[in-house]
Structure 1
Amino acid sequence: MINDQLTLFLDYLAYNRRLSPNTCAAYARDLNQYKAWLEREKLSFAEVRANDARLYVYELGDRQYAKTTVARKLSAIRAWYDYLARTGVISENPWQDMTAPKASKHLPVTITEAEMAKFLDQIRQDTSPLGLRDAAIFECLYGSGLRVSELVALNLGDIQKAAAFPILKVTGKGRKERMVPIGRQSMAAFTAYIDKGRPALVKDPEEAALFLNFLGKRLTRRGVNYLLDEYIKKGALKFRVSPHAFRHSFATHLLDHGGDLRMIQDLLGHESLSTTQIYTKVSAQRLRDVYLQAHPRAHEK
């Protein structure tokens, strides 16, 4: 019975709540781990009480998972039991009051404007089809603030030039669409790639994906991570970052130049303004660092 209930719940996430395949896969992994624990403890999912839930949380802690990982696992279980309670399979949710350990808050990793300009200038030196593609990828990540999953999901038709300025039609979390402007440098990189790079990579004329790998198939998230690591090894950046740092840098640099927080929230596709507000702390930290370095009264000689 537990397998049937899990399958129904995962279908509900995919088709009713329209969560991304990556999110559904993470929920499935976490819930299958929980199911294995129930089997070891000889417990039915419907028999679990608050004491059992606490025992599972303690076990996760003993395995030395990161606090963020524990929080995600508990979120998946809590959501499943909420679903079971709403559909009448169980009478109450034993996990509803179970709180995850508070995760340490870290400021987003960003790349300075000077480092970003140097990185993008270096990539643009390669005019091969793959080089033109890579320039378009990283100009897009920084110029439009996309998540990597949003970037690799782009199709040729998502670049719309008919408006007063070119825009990208982006499908974000929960399959929600938003329109993001394309900057001048990004548009130039897109045009060069589409005109001279992509035709040399594409194998199937029916392929809709914008960014292709060397086999002519849609580029993956893992592929973008690999590309960035390779450029960092070549010295394009002085420190290792993930592609998500380009999104963080996009938001932080907009704030540094007077961008409105609500506007940045819309561009990033954040549901809550509180998620976007983390970037105000990054800008404040940078302001403090510049002050301490430059002002003659900031520190004692």
Structure 2
Amino acid sequence: MATPSTAEVRAGLPPALAEALAGYEEHLSAQRDLSANTLRSYVGDVARLLDHLARRSGTQPHDLDLATLRSWLAQGRTRGHSRSTTARHASAARSFTAWLRRAGLMPEDVGQRLVSPKAHRTLPDVLAPDQARALVETAAGAEDPVRLRDAVVLELLYASGIRVSELVGLDVDDVDRGRRLLRVLGKGRKERSVPYGLPAERAVDAWLTRGRPALATPDSGPALLLGLRGRRLDAREARRTVHAATSSVPGAPDIGPHGLRHSAATHVLEGGADLRSVQELLGHASLATTQIYTHVTVERLRAVHAQAHPRA
């Protein structure tokens, strides 16, 4: 049986719960300035929490108690949810109950006492430097407009370590070609400047002079990267470009744009950059998020040691 969509779940909620969900969604959208994906994820999680409450005969927001929160998480675990998914659900629940308390819809914040398992942080797949070089060169030398664009996608993602959403959101004026800097609008609409190198600049120059004009239409606007119909490039097409390029590199793991971001961060650290510089480059709000890349470099060092040292 197919899992119901968020819209279907919302449609079946009791009126008071549906109203509370709508108010929470408005709060997230207007007050916290979350990305569209994060907003969708939080609203979907809370909709399913309220559906669980309704199935336990709850009809009002104040019917939500700690036992209901715990049973909802437990139900997810029995359905095979991972620790990371359970942790995300718990985070969404705590955010919702905190808002309910502030909005006067609940006498106390019952979510404060909700404990969830910490998500396992698996080490991301990364390319070796020679694999990364081979990947960005898969589109080199082409003159077809789409191939020229693909070269920019690969070069900028690896050169700068930006997110794919940040890449496709770039406008032509966001590229400071004189100083080789990208003006990037990241999570929470925080702006940062990210450098890129000479190979990426060559790819950008070829795209802007010989590729973009061939695809541009009146609907293109200021977008740096364009799809076949001349509109701003879709993130899904950028992902397909990276996966296709990766598949052509012998021995390379199957990674997408986020894998190129991981690879860029790892290689910069291995090249001697300090952790705070990498944090600024990637646009992480917390240094703790960046620290996963130190684990990546340590694991790679261990692997080399185990393979090369006679007494490993």
Determine if the TM-score, normalized by the shorter chain, exceeds 0.5: yes
Cα distance per residue 1:172-221 (max 9 Å; x no partner): 11111111012111111111111111111111265121111111111122
Query: Cα RMSD between the aligned structures?
Result: 1.7
Query: Does 2:104 match 1:88?
Result: yes
- 1:294 to partner: Cα distance: 2.5
Contact 1:159-1:166 within 8 A present in 2 as well: yes
d(CA) in 1 for partners of 2:301, 2:157: 24
Q: Secondary structure at the residue paired with 2:194?
A: strand
Note if 1:277 corresponds to 2:291.
Answer: yes
User: Superposition pairs for residues 125-274 of structure 1, below 5 Å?
Assistant: 125-162=141-178, 165-204=179-218, 207-235=221-249, 238-274=252-288
Match of 2:82 in 1: 66
Note the C-alpha offset of 1:233.
4.2
Question: Secondary structure of the equivalent of 1:203?
Answer: coil
Give the C-alpha shift of residue 235 in structure 1: 4.7
Cα-to-partner distance string for 1:21-43 (whole Å, 9 max, x where unaligned): 11111112112212222222211
Query: 8 Å contact 1:38–1:45 — kept in the other structure?
Result: no
Change (3 A) 1:82 1:229: same
Q: CA shift at 1:237, angstroms?
A: 6.2
SS at match of 2:48: helix
Instruction: Tell me how far 1:246 sits from its aligned partner.
Output: 0.6
Structure 1 Cα separation of the partners of residues 103 and 138 of structure 2: 56
* Cα distance, 1:169–1:236 mapped onto 2, change above 3 Å: farther
CA deviation after TM superposition for structure 1 residue 105, in Å: 2.4
Paired with 2:207 and 2:290, the residues of 1 have a C-alpha distance of: 31
**What residue in structure 2 maps to residue 26 of structure 1?**
41
Deviations 1:81-104 (A, max 9, x none): 111111222111212121222222
The SS at the match of 2:111 is: coil
Matches of 1:194 and 1:248 in 2, distance apart? 27
In structure 1, what is the equivalent of residue 23 of structure 2?
Answer: 8
Provide the C-alpha distance between the structure 2 equivalents of 1:237 and 1:120, rounded to a whole number of angstroms: 15
Between stretches 71-80 and 264-273, larger displacement belongs to 71-80
Name the residue aligned to 2:311: 298
TM (norm. structure 1) is 0.93
- TM-score with structure 2 length normalisation? 0.90
- SS at 1:200's partner residue? helix
CA contact (8 A) 2:181 2:193 kept: yes
- In the alignment, is the contact (CA less than 8 A) between 2:125 and 2:253 conserved in 1? no
The superposition leaves residues 23-76 of structure 1 with CA deviations (integer Å, 9 ceiling, x where unpaired) of 111112112212222222211331122112111111111111122112112211
Q: Aligned partners of 1:192 and 1:250: how far apart in 2?
A: 23
The alpha-carbon deviation at position 238 of structure 1 amounts to 3.4
20-29 or 7-16, larger mean C-alpha shift: 7-16
CA gap of 1:256–1:291, structure 2 versus 1, over 3 A, is: same
Q: Residue 217 of structure 1: SS of its match in structure 2?
A: coil
Residues 95-134 of structure 1 correspond to what in structure 2 (within 5 A)? 95-134=111-150
Q: Distance in 2 between matches of 1:286 and 1:200?
A: 43
Structure 2 counterpart of 1:76: 92
Counterpart mapping for 1:35-74 below 5 A: 35-43=50-58, 44-74=60-90
Residue range with higher mean Cα deviation, 2-11 or 132-141: 2-11
Contact 1:118 1:236 in 2 (8 A): no
SS at structure 1 position matched to 2:88: helix
Gaps (5+ residues) in structure 1?
Answer: none
